[in-house]
Amino acid sequence: MGIPVISYEGPFQGVFGTAINPIVPVTLNPRGGNITCSIIPSLPAGLSLNTQTCVVSGSPSEVIQSTSFTVTANNGTHSSNGIFNLSVAAGVPQLAYNGPSGGRGGIVTGK
Protein backbone atom coordinates (compact mmCIF):
# COMPACT_ATOMS: atom_id res chain seq x y z
CA MET A 1 0.00 0.00 0.00
CA GLY A 2 1.13 3.51 -0.75
CA ILE A 3 0.93 6.64 1.36
CA PRO A 4 -2.61 8.14 1.28
CA VAL A 5 -3.06 11.66 -0.06
CA ILE A 6 -5.42 14.19 1.57
CA SER A 7 -5.74 17.95 1.08
CA TYR A 8 -8.25 20.72 1.77
CA GLU A 9 -8.76 24.24 0.44
CA GLY A 10 -10.07 27.09 2.54
CA PRO A 11 -10.18 28.90 4.85
CA PHE A 12 -13.70 28.00 5.92
CA GLN A 13 -16.17 30.11 7.89
CA GLY A 14 -19.28 29.15 9.81
CA VAL A 15 -21.98 30.96 11.77
CA PHE A 16 -23.12 29.88 15.23
CA GLY A 17 -26.29 27.76 15.00
CA THR A 18 -26.28 27.55 11.19
CA ALA A 19 -25.35 24.42 9.23
CA ILE A 20 -22.02 24.84 7.49
CA ASN A 21 -21.35 23.87 3.92
CA PRO A 22 -19.60 20.52 4.34
CA ILE A 23 -15.81 20.78 4.44
CA VAL A 24 -14.80 18.20 1.85
CA PRO A 25 -11.23 17.19 1.01
CA VAL A 26 -10.28 18.33 -2.51
CA THR A 27 -7.97 15.33 -2.68
CA LEU A 28 -8.52 12.01 -0.91
CA ASN A 29 -6.70 9.00 -2.32
CA PRO A 30 -6.36 6.02 0.03
CA ARG A 31 -3.67 4.38 -2.14
CA GLY A 32 -4.95 0.95 -1.21
CA GLY A 33 -7.06 -0.21 1.70
CA ASN A 34 -9.78 1.67 3.53
CA ILE A 35 -9.28 5.10 5.04
CA THR A 36 -9.81 5.97 8.68
CA CYS A 37 -9.84 9.70 9.46
CA SER A 38 -9.16 11.54 12.71
CA ILE A 39 -8.81 15.24 13.57
CA ILE A 40 -6.90 17.44 16.02
CA PRO A 41 -7.71 19.64 17.80
CA SER A 42 -11.32 18.69 18.54
CA LEU A 43 -13.94 20.37 16.36
CA PRO A 44 -16.25 23.00 17.87
CA ALA A 45 -19.40 21.62 19.49
CA GLY A 46 -22.04 20.75 16.88
CA LEU A 47 -19.54 19.77 14.15
CA SER A 48 -18.34 16.26 13.41
CA LEU A 49 -15.85 14.43 11.22
CA ASN A 50 -16.98 11.48 9.10
CA THR A 51 -14.22 8.98 9.89
CA GLN A 52 -14.53 7.25 6.48
CA THR A 53 -14.77 10.24 4.12
CA CYS A 54 -12.85 12.91 6.12
CA VAL A 55 -15.79 15.32 5.59
CA VAL A 56 -16.64 17.83 8.35
CA SER A 57 -20.31 18.83 8.71
CA GLY A 58 -22.94 20.02 11.17
CA SER A 59 -24.18 23.19 12.86
CA PRO A 60 -21.60 24.79 15.16
CA SER A 61 -22.83 25.67 18.64
CA GLU A 62 -19.56 27.28 19.68
CA VAL A 63 -17.87 30.48 18.44
CA ILE A 64 -14.16 30.12 17.62
CA GLN A 65 -11.48 32.33 16.13
CA SER A 66 -9.63 31.04 13.08
CA THR A 67 -8.17 27.68 14.09
CA SER A 68 -5.98 25.28 12.14
CA PHE A 69 -7.28 21.68 12.11
CA THR A 70 -5.24 18.66 11.03
CA VAL A 71 -7.06 15.67 9.57
CA THR A 72 -5.07 12.44 9.46
CA ALA A 73 -6.00 9.85 6.82
CA ASN A 74 -4.75 6.36 7.67
CA ASN A 75 -5.00 3.37 5.31
CA GLY A 76 -3.81 0.81 7.87
CA THR A 77 -0.19 0.95 6.76
CA HIS A 78 0.57 4.63 6.14
CA SER A 79 -0.95 7.98 7.04
CA SER A 80 -0.82 11.58 5.85
CA ASN A 81 -2.27 14.89 6.99
CA GLY A 82 -4.53 17.51 5.45
CA ILE A 83 -4.84 20.92 7.12
CA PHE A 84 -7.64 23.51 6.97
CA ASN A 85 -8.55 26.68 8.87
CA LEU A 86 -12.02 27.26 10.28
CA SER A 87 -13.63 30.14 12.15
CA VAL A 88 -17.17 30.33 13.56
CA ALA A 89 -18.78 33.75 14.03
CA ALA A 90 -21.61 34.65 16.39
CA GLY A 91 -24.97 34.76 14.69
CA VAL A 92 -27.11 37.89 14.53
CA PRO A 93 -29.60 37.92 17.40
CA GLN A 94 -33.24 37.68 16.40
CA LEU A 95 -35.72 39.86 18.25
CA ALA A 96 -39.13 38.73 19.46
CA TYR A 97 -41.93 40.84 20.87
CA ASN A 98 -43.50 39.25 23.93
CA GLY A 99 -46.25 41.75 24.61
CA PRO A 100 -50.00 41.51 25.03
CA SER A 101 -52.20 41.47 21.98
CA GLY A 102 -53.08 44.94 20.85
CA GLY A 103 -49.44 46.00 20.73
CA ARG A 104 -49.13 47.93 24.02
CA GLY A 105 -46.47 47.16 26.58
CA GLY A 106 -44.30 44.07 26.68
CA ILE A 107 -40.63 43.30 26.45
CA VAL A 108 -38.33 42.93 23.47
CA THR A 109 -35.84 40.13 23.97
CA GLY A 110 -32.97 38.67 21.94
CA LYS A 111 -33.23 34.99 21.07
DSSP string covering 14-26, please?
EETTSPPPPB--S
Run of H or E including 107: none
Based on C-alpha coordinates, what's the Rg of the chain? 20
The confidence band for 105, taking pLDDT boundaries of 50, 70 and 90, is low
The confidence band for 1, taking pLDDT boundaries of 50, 70 and 90, is confident
pLDDT, average across residues 38-66: 97
| 86-102: pLDDT as tens digits | 999 998 766 666 666 65
For residue 84, CA distances in Å to 32, 41, 55, 87, 95 come to 24, 12, 12, 10, 34
Closest CA to 17 of 81, 77, 60: 60
Residue 7 in this model has a pLDDT that exceeds 80:
yes
